Structure 1
Amino acid sequence: MPLFSRDHTELARLYLSLLMLAGVAFGLVFSPPFLSVGLIGLVVLGLLDPLAGLNPQWRKRLPATLRSPFFWGMSLLYLVLLLGFWQTEDWPYYTERLRIKIPLLALPLVWPGLPDFTAQQRGWIFGGFVLFLAAVLAAVLINYALHFDEINGMIERGQAMPVPRNHVRFSLLVALATLFSVAAYRLRAGGSRWLWLGLGLFLFAGQHFLAVRSGLAGAYGGLAVLAMALAWERGTWWPALAALLGLLLLPALAYLTIPSLRTKLNYARYELLHRDPTADTGAYSDQGRLTSLRLGLQVWQDHPWLGVGPGNLRQEMDRRYASALPGAEAKRPHNQFISALAGSGLLGGLLTLGSFLLLAAVGIRRKAPVFLAVWTLFFLSCQVENTLETSAGVSMFCVFLLLALPAAHPVVAPKVLSRL
């Protein structure tokens, strides 16, 4: 068989795709350069081919991709940014947004050129991610146990438990791994089910010790939707009702038994009810987040139809903060939809919401419980964070929705791939 035969090429594409996905996961937790290499590698593997120049599978599937609701659900989020080019005054910020958000356009476009993973391979992709996050979370919790009083004191002062890089991102990744443990369980990854059930419970329990509210909201919301979607799939509703009841009661039990969560919620109550809003500084306090939302809504009220321009949002928020809170660090609105309204007006807000609803419709049409749960996690995250305004947030959004989306038709992988 020639060195660069089609079978060898597709086998190499499979192994390299798995390697790039592993690089994305590692990069999201530990290293932005690994994340960049992983994303670029996936684009190259999906688009190019050493034998034909352009990947034959990608060329064959391109017309169907351009008609796909999923592709347009993702791409409309990039189109919102492109439509505001004529308003732009702050070109460095605008071009930075174009670069950060390019995965919204590139990854859905080239993904069909990547290998069609079999159920077994998908199971191990999900399972590998679960194992990786469970190992990192275990290390974080061991460190918490070793420095219990010190870390609780940090949380009491409004700081986060020490985790790799960003605490919000790490908490969202743990929530995603919790949902993917269900996917690995359903696919019997490695021939086991109880392993994934146990790891999923560990990840969900560990989420409470991290005490990051956006991650907890995503995990609870995702699991609630997952329970309802599985009940819909099976036509049996009583397990979903039992799961929803448990999810309603569990926060009270967690508050009584987990010190870090109790400390965090007590601090949040102080922030919202007792702290002087005029004392807001550059710290990411709850009052600071509420201030960013209030000022963002003011920007939209002053520019209701087309917004101030997505490329001008930073300088406009800087100006508003300088007037309302002199000396405080300016922030963009801590809500993706308010950011869209302020930057692109009602048109941008409707396009952003429509994109999310279109993605949800794809999951409902394909009856994809895990996809709908992952979608719910990101939708909730966008209520309290600018999830799609950072490279890590955009990368998580694209890669994990693409991984969770089942194929529209049963996958029949080439023999050389299906044996793996």
Structure 2
Amino acid sequence: MAFSLRSELTIPRLLVAATFFSACTIVGLFTSSFFRVLPSIGMIGMAATGLTCFLLHGQHYQRTNRSNYLPFLLIFLVHASAGVLTSSARIGEYIRDLVLQLPFLVLPLAFWLLPPLPTRNLRFLWLLLIGTTALAALLSTGNYLLHFDQINEMYLRSKVMPTEPDHIRFSLLVTLSVAAGVCLLAHRSVVGKGAMGLWALVICLAFYQHLLAVRSGLVTLYVMAVVALLWLVFRTRQYQQALLLAAGLVFVPAVSYSLFPTLRNKSANTREDMGQVDNTASANNYSLVGRVYSYKVALEVVKDNPWFGVGRADIEPEMALRYQRDYPNIRPNFYIQPHNQFLFSAVAFGLIGLVVFIVGFYYAGLSVWPRYAPLLLAQYVIVTLSFLVEYTLETQIGLGYALFFILLALEGQKPVPQPEGEWRPV
């Protein structure tokens, strides 16, 4: 029986299955409102494929260093251990959180158990990300043109155009797609007419990021551009390309600001928002003001529970108590959880839990350093910047986006039995 399965479920076939389920995960990030289960199907399929491949063929290939993958499990264990502090009334919330965090248990094990995906499969998955992001951006732009005046006015009220997924996560996907496209082009992974088409998508997505005008997306895009500029100047000494990129950093925002009312309105809204920070009641109407007060409230919770936190499930009631005590002018329906992943983790798990989280999440990136891994670096930079202004890992789409593309970039680090003669996206 085992021999029959082994002959049918060969390693090449299982790698095709792993690529298919990875594709499901990528596409599923864009279907959260109408096919929410697709990313879960992809992740479960990846886990089943990895386990099957290991059980049937584990003796025929060498798995990569587990230190790149197993530290992610620490994050799941931190969430699981918070059950000790969870109040009986919040057990249901605790269980929901454990289910949400399952990818930290499932995906790293799946990628660790699998042999390396072929380079062409990795290239396909990154191109799928770029193509799917471009399609979603096109649909979003079409909707914007159909509701031009209405959507432009929304930007003056701290709102943005509808996107799939939500605008914060989508803006991060746009930046990662631009970075992935540039990496593939720089390493000649796509040539000929395909390269021309990819350049067109990258440029269009860069302009679309300005049309979308989400602060997180714009910051990550320009930070990645500055990182690329420094790399070209100090590492590769490609001064001509660096000069072209520097010109683009001036030209693109200037043109975008003149062309896109959304960007102008978002700029005006941000200036107005920042001017209201000293007025506590403004947290009821201004998003940036609300975030500032969420940080102040969260720091008070950390002061009272410095070592082990209050537990992930009890953040909401604990924050509400301090909102009521310290900021009575803020209405209950505008109480928000701290929009900072590090601060959120400190509130939930204390400073000890925060340290464990940082080690678990960043160990893979540090273990690869200083080897060349531009896609891994890009994803870590993008996600870290998002951590500063969002609790990215506390939603299904945010967690799936952050973890999956780190693991996909790590896949390019796996040693292959025979050199393939081309760059493995990493």
Instruction: State the TM bucket, normalised to the shorter chain.
Output: 0.7 to 0.9
Would the aligned equivalents of 2:232 and 2:241 in 1 still touch at CA under 8 Å? no
Deviation at 1:198, TM superposition (A): 2.1
Matched letter for residue 385 of structure 1 = E
Aligned equivalent of 1:391:
396
The more displaced of 303-312 and 381-390 is 303-312
Q: In structure 2, how many angstroms separate the alpha carbons of the residues matched to 1:379 and 1:205? A: 23
CA shift for structure 1 position 413: 6.8
Letter in 2 for 1:364: W
Q: CA shift at 1:115, angstroms?
A: 4.8
- Given that 1:229 and 1:369 are in contact with CA atoms closer than 8 Å, whether structure 2 keeps it comes out as no
- What pairs up with 1:20-419 in 2 under 5 angstroms? 20-30=21-31, 31-49=35-53, 54-57=55-58, 65-66=65-66, 68=67, 70-89=68-87, 90-185=90-185, 186-189=187-190, 192-229=194-231, 234=236, 236=238, 239-240=241-242, 243=245, 246-247=248-249, 250-251=252-253, 254-274=256-276, 276-281=279-284, 285-323=287-325, 324=327, 325-412=330-417
User: How far, CA to CA, are the matches of 1:375 and 1:241 in structure 2?
Assistant: 26
Contact 2:310–2:349 under 8 Å retained in 1: yes
- Cα deviation, residue 95, structure 1: 1.9
* Residue equivalent to 2:424: none
Structure 1 Cα separation of the partners of residues 309 and 363 of structure 2: 23
Offset of residue 254 of structure 1: 3.4
CA distance in 2, matches of 1:153, 1:59: 61
Q: 1:26 to 1:353 in 2, by over 3 A?
A: same
Provide the C-alpha distance between the structure 2 equivalents of 1:163 and 1:326, rounded to a whole number of angstroms. Answer: 28
**CA distance in structure 1 between the partners assigned to 2:249 and 2:360 by the alignment:** 29
Q: For the Cα contact (< 8 Å) 2:172–2:217, is it kept in 1?
A: yes
Work out the CA distance in 2 between the residues paired with 1:58 and 1:153.
Answer: 61
Give me the whole-angstrom Cα distance separating, in 1, the residues matched to 2:314 and 2:59. Answer: 36
Work out whether residues 366 and 408 of structure 1, in 8 Å CA contact, stay in contact via their aligned partners in 2.
no
Tell me the CA shift for residue 74 of structure 1: 2.2
* CA shift in 2, pair 1:284/1:309, >3 Å: farther
The residue number in structure 2 matching 1:418 is none
Q: Pick closer, same or farther for the CA change 1:354–1:159 going to 2, 3 Å.
A: same
Q: Which amino acid letter does the alignment assign opposite residue 399 of structure 1?
A: F
What do the CA deviations read for 1:140-178 (whole angstroms, capped 9, x no partner)? 112222322121012122221122241112222212211
Q: Is the 8 A contact 1:363 1:371 kept in 2?
A: no
**Can you give the 5+ residue segments of structure 2 that lack an aligned partner in the other structure?**
421-426
Q: Secondary structure at the match of 2:321?
A: helix
Contact 2:174/2:209, CA 8 A, preserved across alignment: yes
- Between the aligned partners of 1:33 and 1:380, the Cα distance in structure 2 is 28
TM-score, length of structure 1 as denominator length:
0.86
Residue matched to 2:423: none
Distance in 2 (CA, whole Å) between partners of 1:329 and 1:40 is 36
CA deviation after TM superposition for structure 1 residue 110, in Å: 1.6
Shift of 1:333: 0.6
Provide the C-alpha distance between the structure 2 equivalents of 1:406 and 1:44, rounded to a whole number of angstroms. Answer: 17
Cα 1:174/1:407, change in 2 over 3 Å? closer
CA distance in 1, matches of 2:359, 2:71: 8
Q: Percent identity?
A: 30
Instruction: Tell me: CA distance 1:380–1:256, structure 2 relative to 1, closer, same or farther (3 Å).
Output: same
Query: Residue 13 of structure 1 corresponds to which residue in structure 2?
Result: 14
Distance 2:301 2:56 in 1: 45
Q: 1:73: how far off? A: 4.2
Tell me which amino acid in the other structure corresponds to 1:287: V
Residue aligned with 1:393, SS: helix
Counterpart-to-counterpart distance in 2, 1:93 and 1:100: 10
Deviation at 1:241, TM superposition (A): 7.1
Give the partner amino acid of 1:118: P
1:6 shift after superposition: 3.5
Query: Residues 309 and 183 from structure 1, CA distance in 2 versus in 1: closer, same or farther, beyond 3 angstroms?
Result: same
Deviation of 1:409 after TM superposition, in Å, equals 4.9
**How far apart, in 2, do the equivalents of 1:306 and 1:226 lie?**
39
CA distance in 2, matches of 1:44, 1:230: 42
Query: 1:309 offset after TM fit, Å?
Result: 2.6
Please list the CA deviations of residues 319-341 of structure 1 after superposition, one character each: whole Å capped at 9, or x if unmatched. Answer: 23344334334321100000111
Partner deviation per Cα, 1:110-135 (whole Å, 9 max, x = no partner): 21333522222222221122112112
